[in-house]
Structure 1
């Protein structure tokens, strides 16, 4: 006897919920993994390693599931190249260079506000006034970030924090560009192709400014594990799980789970022995509340942005 359709729908929704939550958690672990990789590797090589592996794995996944639609690639090739340079190359350059002086929790929190930043920036591009709730949510989120870095107790933003914030702005432009410049491509196809072109650029730059072969020859097992984790789990698997969540639960319901990214980074950081201070815990809570509040005010529109996410 087949189970009722309502039971099947509930089971599918529950599975999608779990997968979406896992995707956000995986993205949150990337920041601690980045810190570990940077112990042995210079930033450009670390970024190139992550996305060279991720791009190959993502292309294989796309080929086995949807197939490589070359017509989509030809039609959107210029957009894929430009967006890959902005959303993968430039963003990850800012992240890996910024993480040399920033902390995993702060970096994750800054990036956790990127869906909200995207919606506010898109409102300005479209010459419409952002919703009042979105502006309030952004203000609250910025207070949370300031609490996390200790700005209210006299500490200053590190240069890495500002670099990651610039990368977050670049990611917002990437997210907007994916919606406005790409035509007839599924979100997963957009993510894979932009990841591929961005990875090629990262490899070329790493070869030009660093010595990747020599650096990789002397890395520890921990660095390899952290690098592969970022590439396979924190990039490819997270993207696939997030796309499943969006397809089964819808973007609005899925986007709320993006708030787990900074929470995951906070927990992982604590597991690695860096117990967060009360200001960090409070800052994460305040920032997450701000993003949630803004997403409610925008009717769930931030959901559209993480669906394009190719790194995090």
Structure 2
């Protein structure tokens, strides 16, 4: 009997790592897609378009599946609205806005501070200081990320560039940490129902901003931009967020947030390959400690964060 339980646990652990890998790869690629789309589509409209495309995809997916209908009680929709604000509307807009001036590699690195915010919010909620082991697991990744940023070939532009986009990316990281805690507390429905309801809630949070200030009806996107928007909406928003919600429920928000340690090195590789951004030997060497922090944190961070 003990062996059977161990086998089930191993399968769950393997599934968690596979889902983590899928989320990391697609979200690393999403930074490149945002960079492409923002050339023709302003940030609020870009984020709104992602949500609209994702909502359509998820509604069709929900209709064709046996996941069940969307909930009718106001309590569930209030929780979905909180997830929509902190997990979609706010961070998607902030990241799109910052992408107009911040390179892909820096974007990924700054948003990767989400686990640190997760620990901070857990401490504030429980009014207790995280254990030394927990802090060590998070610090290992953060030190690697800090070194990543300091050794980046684009970091020298900080002195002449406004700090506002960088602060916006840190704010997006904090939003993601808050969203993950709310998702972890959801007891009703499944990942597909949650994803669909959240997308529906997030659209009206950004649509007025787009209509009032960006006049989307005047935009004439190129074929490349349209393709980037479709990939952002279908894969990087609809499919991947459903996978992410499944990952949170399977392994907890702390482990799920560790994808932020994988996204930076993946983003730097992709941005070097497709956008011509710098990739040096120091950045490659620092990928090892960042990826290793995933394993450290999985064993050390409580899933109740």
Q: What is the TM-score when the length of structure 2 is the normalising length?
A: 0.80
Q: Which residue, 165, 168, 177 being the options, matches 2:173?
A: 168
Answering whether residue 150 of structure 2 is matched by residue 146 of structure 1, we say no
Residues in 1 aligned to 2:124 and 2:54: alpha-carbon distance in whole angstroms: 33
Alignment of 1:1-312 (within 5 A): 18=18, 20-65=20-65, 66-71=67-72, 73-150=73-150, 155=156, 156=158, 158-180=163-185, 182-215=186-219, 218-242=220-244, 250-251=250-251, 255=256, 258=259, 259-272=261-274, 273-299=276-302
Contact preservation (8 Å) 1:134, 1:294: yes
Residues in 2 aligned to 1:221 and 1:22: alpha-carbon distance in whole angstroms: 26
Q: What is the TM-score when the length of structure 1 is the normalising length?
A: 0.79
Residues in 1 aligned to 2:212 and 2:179: alpha-carbon distance in whole angstroms: 25
What RMSD over aligned residues (CA atoms) do the two structures have, in Å?
3.4
Contact preservation (8 Å) 1:110, 1:164: yes
Residues in 1 aligned to 2:86 and 2:9: alpha-carbon distance in whole angstroms: 38
Q: What is the Cα deviation at residue 301 of structure 1?
A: 5.5
Question: What is the match of residue 305 of structure 1?
Answer: none
Q: Cα deviations across residues 35-83 of structure 1 (Å, max 9, x unaligned)? A: 1111111111111111111122122222322132333x53312222233
Q: Cα deviations across residues 166-204 of structure 1 (Å, max 9, x unaligned)? A: 111111112223334x45233443332122211222122
Provide the secondary structure at the position in 1 that maps to 2:206. helix
User: Structure 1 pair 18/122, CA: closer, same or farther in 2 (3 Å)?
Assistant: closer
Q: Cα deviations across residues 146-179 of structure 1 (Å, max 9, x unaligned)? A: 3233279983485322210111111111222333
Gaps of 5+ in 1: 1-6, 303-312
Residues in 2 aligned to 1:111 and 1:91: alpha-carbon distance in whole angstroms: 9
Residues in 2 aligned to 1:140 and 1:17: alpha-carbon distance in whole angstroms: 19
Q: What is the Cα deviation at residue 142 of structure 1?
A: 3.1
Question: What is the match of residue 3 of structure 1?
Answer: none
Question: What is the match of residue 4 of structure 2?
Answer: none
Q: What is the Cα deviation at residue 11 of structure 1?
A: 9.4
Contact preservation (8 Å) 1:113, 1:141: no
Provide the secondary structure at the position in 2 that maps to 1:101. coil
Residues in 2 aligned to 1:12 and 1:151: alpha-carbon distance in whole angstroms: 37
Contact preservation (8 Å) 1:33, 1:230: yes
Contact preservation (8 Å) 1:116, 1:134: no
